């Protein structure tokens, strides 16, 4: 079992899946393998649909969220395709196993007023102030993920054309426009703090590439000053970016492209945000609401 899992994980690495996905899938499949062994199955070729459903049922009984079970099922389904291609399985037992229906949470986001307050660095006294404002402006201007921001190099910033090249999930490239405010702050950071030498775009105090934990602290500290949300992370800025674009009439497919979403259904969550906000305003304003 371990050898088959390792072979499959090797294929994911060759296909340039993210480190997070590779690690998660490996853990999920090892858990599934242990479940099969505990239930008398010594080989993946012996498994059937009931085994997969039994594994999902056990996870739910242990209190796993449906979203976590769905992710583990995705790993199993992908693994089953691999086993079928390599003649380990005669037929794929996961095809008829349905993914648990999950409630889609409405993501946290900041209002336009809160964003204005957050980005109002009326005095930037230190180099860290200049860097942090550039980071926040860029997150709001582009909607990029935390992992995408910390992996930015200076060479990915086209200063002349005000464009940013990022590599998202599956190493997919996309080109993003950089808004004027973000461009100006980023230019100030480069000229006054970082310099124009090659390497990581955002640096830590020690001069190394900024890490994701550092980025999370910077964003959380900025959000706490202007709002109280159940989620305060770089992803909140991504949610805010998408929500504000749609609220101001942006095309859903254009927002999908900017966010780098594979599926339009992933982007549609932000239309729900807009509808919820609309309902709030309606209740406040309508005399008979």
Catalytic residue among 145, 194, 239, 244: 145
Is 71 in the active site? no
Q: In whole angstroms, give the CA distance from residue 259 to residue 257.
A: 5
Catalytic, 282? Answer no
Indicate if 87 belongs to the active site.
no
Active site residue 213: no
Q: Which of 131, 133, 194, 235 is catalytic?
A: 235
| Residues in the chain, overall count | 289
Are the beta carbons of 139 and 131 closer than 8 angstroms? no
- The alpha-helical segments, DSSP class H, found in 161-233 are 180-189, 212-224
41 carries an active-site annotation: no
Q: Could you give the residue ranges of the DSSP H alpha helices within 86-126?
A: 112-118
Exposed e or buried b per residue across 51-89, where buried means at least 16 C-beta atoms within 10 angstroms of its C-beta: bbbebbeebeeeebeeebbebbbbbbbbbbebbbeeeeb
169, 209, 272, 277: the active-site residue: 169
Cα(109)–Cα(231) distance, integer angstroms: 8
Task: Answer yes or no: 81 catalytic.
Answer: no
Name the residues annotated as catalytic.
Answer: 145, 169, 235, 238, 261, 270
């Amino acid at each position: 079992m371990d050898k088959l899992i390792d072979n499959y994980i090797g294929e994911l690495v060759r296909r340039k899946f993210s480190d997070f996905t590779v690690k998660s899938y490996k853990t999920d499949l090892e858990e599934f393998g242990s479940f099969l062994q505990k239930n008398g199955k010594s080989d993946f070729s012996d498994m059937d649909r009931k085994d997969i459903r039994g594994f999902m049922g056990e996870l739910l009984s242990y209190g796993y969220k449906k979203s976590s079970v769905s992710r583990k099922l995705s790993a199993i389904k992908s693994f089953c395709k691999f086993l079928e291609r390599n003649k380990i399985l005669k037929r794929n037992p996961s095809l008829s196993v349905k993914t648990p229906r999950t409630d889609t949470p409405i993501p946290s986001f900041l209002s336009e007023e809160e964003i204005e307050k957050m980005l109002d660095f009326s005095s930037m006294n230190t180099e860290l102030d200049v860097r942090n404002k550039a980071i926040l402006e860029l997150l709001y201007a582009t909607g990029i993920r935390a992992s995408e921001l910390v992996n930015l190099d200076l060479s990915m910033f086209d200063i002349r054309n005000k464009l940013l090249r990022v590599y998202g999930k599956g190493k997919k490239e996309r080109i993003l426009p950089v808004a004027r405010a973000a461009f100006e702050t980023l230019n100030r950071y480069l000229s006054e703090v970082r310099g124009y030498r090659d390497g990581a775009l955002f640096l830590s105090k020690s001069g190394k590439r900024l890490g994701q934990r550092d980025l999370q602290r910077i964003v959380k500290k900025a959000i706490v000053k202007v709002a109280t949300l159940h989620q305060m992370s770089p992803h909140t800025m991504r949610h805010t970016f998408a929500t504000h674009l749609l609220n101001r009439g942006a095309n859903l497919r254009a927002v999908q492209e900017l966010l780098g979403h594979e599926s339009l259904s992933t982007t549609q969550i932000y239309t729900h945000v807009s509808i919820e906000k609309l309902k709030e305003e309606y209740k406040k304003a309508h005399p008979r609401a």
